[in-house]
Amino acid sequence: MSDHSLNPEVMPNEPEKATLEGKNKFLGFWFFLGGETVLFACLFGTYIALRNSAAGGPTENELFGLELVFLMTILLLTSSLTSVYAVYHMKNNNFKKMQLWLGITALLGFGFLACELYEFTHYIHEYGFTFRSSAFGSAFYALVGFHGGHVTFGLTWLIALMIRNAKRGLNLYNAPKFYTFSLYWHFIDVVWVFIFTVVYLMGKVG
């Protein structure tokens, strides 16, 4: 594909799927998310099996506070919405606005990550609740930490994409890259909805 055909005068309706490479990336990434779903399903299963195995240490009900988790949920859900705006502007070929909304998405993501780090340090220092203290602790940090790791990876990916393409704008080569990032970000968001329900709500109420 010559450089010219990747920079058409008029961008097509769905720039992320305008080339065969883009189509492949789009489909391949959906399959990847399918695999990721199984990955998280296994961690959820492990967590549900071990969530009552506190081994004399702090239990779910003693640990969790819904205020912080509420804030984290708002931050991450909003960041999902802002990434939708970014893709909307990508489809209108408005690169600057896309970058702006992606920037906001990144800020919200960092906010979420900061809250999570605070939460973990709080548990460790105030309650002595660690990865090693009980099977419940192992399962909790594995599940929530895996999600947090995904957020960290996503933020690194996003910033790398934004910096790399800052000067050259949008074309048919990088549009699929931005688009797959947004898919990934929504996926992380969906996983968080389940973590919120299964870990925190069920831990407080169930």
Partner 1 sequence: MSTAVTQKRSFGAVLWDYLTTVDHKKIAHLYLFGGGLFFILGGLEALVIRIQLMQPQNDFVSAGLYNEMLTMHGTTMIFLAAMPLILGLMNAAVPLQIGARDVAFPFLNSLGFWLFMFGGLILNCSWFLGGAPDAGWTAYAPLSTTSPGHGVDFYVIGLQIAGAGTLIGGINFLVTIINMRAPGMTYMRMPLFTWSSFITSVLILFAFPALTIGLFLLMFDRMFGSAFFDVSLGGNEIIWEHLFWIFGHPEVYILILPLFGVFSDLFSTFAKKRLFGYTAMVFATMLIAFLGFMVWAHHMFTVGLGPVANSIFAIATMAIAVPTGIKIFNWLATMWGGQIKINSAMLWALGFIPTFTIGGMTGVMVASVVADYQYHDTYFVVAHFHYVIVGGTIFGIFAGLHYWWPKMFGRILNEKLGYLTFWTFFIGFHLTFFIQHFLGLMGMPRRYWVYLEGSGLDTGNLISSIGAFFMAFGVIVFFYNIVYTAVKGEKAVDDPWDGRTLEWATASPPEHYNFKQVPLVRGLDPLWVEKTEGKGTMTPAEPLGDIHMPNGSFLPFLMSLGLFIAGFGFIYHMDYNWAYILLFGGMAMLLGCMLTRSLKDDLGHHIPKEELEREAD
Residue with Cβ nearer partner 1 (72 or 173): 173
Q: What is the CA radius of gyration of the chain?
A: 20
152 binds partner 1 (CB under 8 A): no
Return the residue of 10, 20, 67, 205 that touches partner 1, per CB under 8 A.
20
Size of the residue set binding partner 1 (CB under 8 A): 40
Q: CA-CA distances (angstroms) from residue 181 to 16, 29, 62?
A: 11, 9, 37
35 binds partner 1 (CB under 8 A): yes
What does the DSSP assignment read for 188-201? Answer: HHHHHHHHIIIIII
Write down the least CB distance from residue 37 to partner 1, Å: 8
4 binds partner 1 (CB under 8 A): no
59 binds partner 1 (CB under 8 A): no
For the chain, the straight-line distance linking the first and the last C-alpha, in angstroms and rounded, comes to: 57
Residue among 101, 105, 95 nearest 185 (CA)? 105
> Backbone dihedral region of 14: left (phi > 0), alpha (psi from -120 to 50 degrees) or beta?
beta
198 binds partner 1 (CB under 8 A): no
Give the binding site for partner 1 (CB under 8 A): 1, 3, 6, 20, 23-24, 27-28, 31-32, 34-36, 38-39, 42-43, 45-46, 49-50, 53-55, 131-139, 142, 157, 160-161, 164, 173, 177
